[in-house]
Amino acid sequence: MQVVLSEAKIRERIKELGRQISAEYKKAGVERLYVVGILRGGFIFLADLVRELEIPVEIDFVWASSYGEGTKTSGTVKIARDLEGDIQGRDVLIVEDIVDTGLTMTKMLEHLQSKNPKSLSICSLLHKPAREIKKVPIRFLGFTIEDQFVVGYGLDYKNLYREYREIVILPPENR
């Protein structure tokens, strides 16, 4: 499989993101961050990212599903499981694996904004601008990628390949 992002490259970028995120929130006087992971794809990125942060975090998850089983968005985004905690008045950082059409994140932003956080920002490991339908304000971004379906490091095809340490292009014969 063709490697798009190696384990080392991902690790290096996450260290940088950790420093940037910590610095910006510290500068804004934020003492504790409420990190919201988007399941399932974001779980590995979140685990690595929070360990690079230099401010205390609370961690929560939202379960979003948009893709069904294919490689194209179904267009409808469902919140299959909501947050456990209360984010009213909190500084919330959403952690996502990839922003593609932007439909999932647009829905997630509306949903979380309605709970009245003090601030709400997005950190996405990947952005695939080629297929954008809704523009999403990604405050912290890992990498921009080409219009290819990638798996690994949390990203899946039919719930497979999430455990790969690198991000690879899924060859057509594997679909």
Should residue 42 be labelled a site residue for Mg ion when binding is judged by CB under 5 A?
no
Should residue 41 be labelled a site residue for Mg ion when binding is judged by CB under 5 A?
yes
Torsion of CA 103, 84, 40, 119, to 10 degrees: 50
Residue 82 annotated as catalytic: no
Q: Where are the alpha helices (DSSP H) in the chain?
A: 7-27, 43-50, 103-113
The least distance separating ligand XMP from the CB of residue 58, rounded to whole angstroms, comes to 22
Should residue 152 be labelled a site residue for Mg ion when binding is judged by CB under 5 A?
no
Task: Tell me which of 48, 91, 97, 100 is the catalytic residue.
Answer: 100
Residue 32 CA neighbour count, 13 Å, CB half: 8
Print the binding letters for residues 116-155 with ligand XMP: x by CB under 6 A, - otherwise.
------------x--------------------xxx---x
The dihedral through the CA atoms of 150, 107, 38, 66 has a sign that is: negative
Q: Three-state DSSP class for 96?
A: strand
Distances (CA, A) of 136 to 34, 45, 148: 20, 19, 19
Choose between 35 and 103: whose C-beta lies nearer to Mg ion: 103
Q: Which of Mg ion, ligand XMP, none lies near 101, with the C-beta cut-off 5 to 8 A by kind?
A: ligand XMP
Distance between CA 53 and CA 4 in Å, rounded? 25
Q: Which of 20, 22, 66, 119 touches ligand XMP by CB under 6 A? A: 66
CA angle 48, 51, 52 (to 5 degrees): 95
Should residue 104 be labelled a site residue for ligand XMP when binding is judged by CB under 6 A?
yes
Task: Name the site residues for ligand XMP (rule: CB under 6 A).
Answer: 41, 66-67, 73, 96-105, 128, 149-151, 155-157
Task: Name the site residues for Mg ion (rule: CB under 5 A).
Answer: 41
Catalytically active residues, by annotation: 100
